[in-house]
């Protein structure tokens, strides 16, 4: 399993939340080392930045970016201890996407790398259906902005044939051929291997461009913030691509809405995440596809008003592999919304 999740409440006491809360999904590749490291290190690196405790949102945004950079630097120091690529002399190819949400001071901070995603459901006063707010955008090497950034560093975006026979863009790995012997010189032939189908991540230390001293696969996240609207913001869904490649945001939102806002049984809230994952597995089985690892966190921002005496909670699924399901529950204080003070 290369997927990891993190849910952390700071200074939480019975019946109250007095500090920020951190939620994240990590979709690892090339082994689990980068995802595990990010899960254990990233939040600590973010919250210790001086600007993170500022009342100014731009200062918090800057602190979050610095926390990601510090995590990447810490990974670099650990690189020699990570297993090499497929038992060769080549370095580790471990990396991870990150999609994270920080709740504090009545705001949502979103920090994102790669092709996992986060969406939010809002209730419109003028429309009967839920509105979907896409909180993140994928980082893919075929996007013009990402391709230009990679090429400006001396990196290469190349094509390779995917599983379905189509062409897809990859960040190329410029590496010494396995058969090379002796010193590496300027005249040494370099292999250009189309390798990674995302353009930003934590880890992927192989992508370091020594002349520019930067990573072609960038560890610098997109960071944004939004003021919580307690009357209309309902819930947030974070998921790795194993979810979004099978179910559209509309289907995910409609599933949660039908479970939590149209059924008066409190039991359905507890089983909702399991049924969501079962829908992914059923869709893959129907199409004859192998199910990817799926990690999902669902954050309720309001109480489930249509359920009698429903206990407000955050329910999340982590480490979903084939038919194995792990369900966790974290209780929030009552009051109808998750607001940090």
Closest CA to 53 of 14, 111, 105: 105
Structure tokens at 126: 């003028």
Residue 185 CA: distances (Å) to CA of 26, 178, 194, 208: 37, 15, 23, 18
- Locate the domains of the chain by residue range: 3-139+219-331, 145-197
Count CB neighbours of 287 within 10 A.
Answer: 8
Q: How far apart are CA 2 and CA 11, in angstroms?
A: 29
For 203-243, what is each residue's pLDDT tens digit? 999 999 888 889 999 999 999 999 998 888 988 999 999 88
pLDDT of residue 309: 30
Tell whether the torsion through CA atoms of 319, 323, 328 and 329 is positive or negative: positive
Q: Which of 14-18, 28-32, 326-330 has the highest mean pLDDT?
A: 28-32
**Which 3 state secondary structure label does DSSP give 313?**
strand
pLDDT attached to residue 334: 30
Residue 74's pLDDT band, with cuts at 50, 70 and 90, is: very high
| Those residues with Cβ within 8 angstroms of residue 256's Cβ, 6 or more apart along the chain or in another chain | 121, 235, 237, 272, 276, 298
Length of the chain, in residues: 341
DSSP state at residue 98: E
* Closest listed residue to residue 311, CA positions, set 15, 12, 84, 7: 15
* 8 Å CB contact between 192 and 172: yes
One of 3.60.40.10, 3.40.640.10, 3.40.50.1370, 3.60.15.10 is the CATH number of 3-139+219-331, namely 3.60.40.10
Percent of the chain past pLDDT 90, that is, above it, reads 47
> What pLDDT, on the 0 to 100 scale, is given for residue 177?
73
Please enumerate, as own/partner, the contacts of 307-314 that have beta carbons within 8 Å and a separation of 24 or more: 307/260, 307/263, 307/264, 307/265, 307/266, 307/268, 307/269, 308/264, 308/266, 309/266, 310/266, 310/269, 311/266, 312/336, 313/269, 314/7, 314/23, 314/338
Q: Which string of b and e fits 295-323 if b means at least 16 CB within 10 Å? A: bbbbbbbbbbeebeebebbbbbbbebbee
**Per-residue pLDDT tens for 303-323?**
544 333 323 333 333 333 333
Q: What pLDDT is recorded for position 312?
A: 37
Tell me how crowded residue 17 is: count the other CB atoms within 10 A of its CB. 20
Query: Distance from CA of residue 94 to its chain's centroid?
Result: 15
**What are the pLDDT digits (tens) for 52-62?**
999 999 999 99
Rounded to two decimals, the pTM is 0.84
């Amino acid at each position: 399993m290369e997927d990891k999740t993190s849910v952390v409440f700071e200074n939480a006491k019975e019946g109250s939340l007095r500090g920020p809360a951190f939620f994240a999904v990590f979709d690892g590749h090339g082994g689990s080392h980068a995802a595990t490291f990010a899960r254990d290190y990233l939040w600590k690196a973010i919250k210790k930045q001086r600007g993170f405790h500022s009342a100014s949102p731009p200062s918090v945004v800057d602190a979050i970016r610095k926390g990601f950079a510090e995590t990447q630097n810490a990974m670099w120091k650990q690189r020699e201890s990570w297993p090499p690529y497929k038992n060769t002399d080549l370095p580790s190819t471990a990396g991870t996407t990150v999609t994270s949400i920080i709740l504090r001071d009545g705001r949502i901070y979103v920090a994102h790398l790669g092709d996992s995603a986060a969406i939010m459901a809002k209730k419109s006063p003028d429309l009967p259906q839920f509105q979907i707010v896409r909180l993140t955008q994928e980082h893919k090497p075929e996007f013009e902005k990402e391709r230009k950034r990679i090429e400006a560093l001396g990196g290469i975006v190349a094509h390779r044939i995917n599983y379905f026979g189509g062409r897809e863009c990859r960040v190329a790995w410029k590496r010494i051929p396995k058969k090379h012997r002796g010193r590496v010189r300027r005249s040494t032939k370099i292999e250009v291997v189309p390798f990674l189908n995302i353009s930003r991540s934590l880890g992927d230390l192989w992508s370091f461009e020594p002349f520019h001293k930067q990573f072609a696969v960038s560890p610098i996240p997109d960071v944004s913030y939004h003021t919580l609207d307690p009357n209309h913001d309902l819930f947030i869904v974070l998921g790795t691509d194993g979810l979004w490649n099978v179910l559209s945001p509309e289907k995910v939102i409609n599933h949660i809405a039908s479970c939590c806002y149209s059924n008066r049984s409190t039991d359905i809230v507890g089983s909702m995440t399991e049924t969501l994952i079962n829908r992914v597995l059923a869709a893959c089985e129907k199409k004859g596809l192998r199910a990817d690892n799926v990690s999902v966190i669902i954050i309720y921002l309001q109480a489930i008003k249509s359920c009698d005496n429903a206990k407000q909670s955050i329910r999340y699924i982590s480490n979903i592999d084939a038919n194995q399901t792990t369900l966790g529950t974290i209780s929030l204080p009552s009051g109808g919304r998750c607001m940090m003070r």
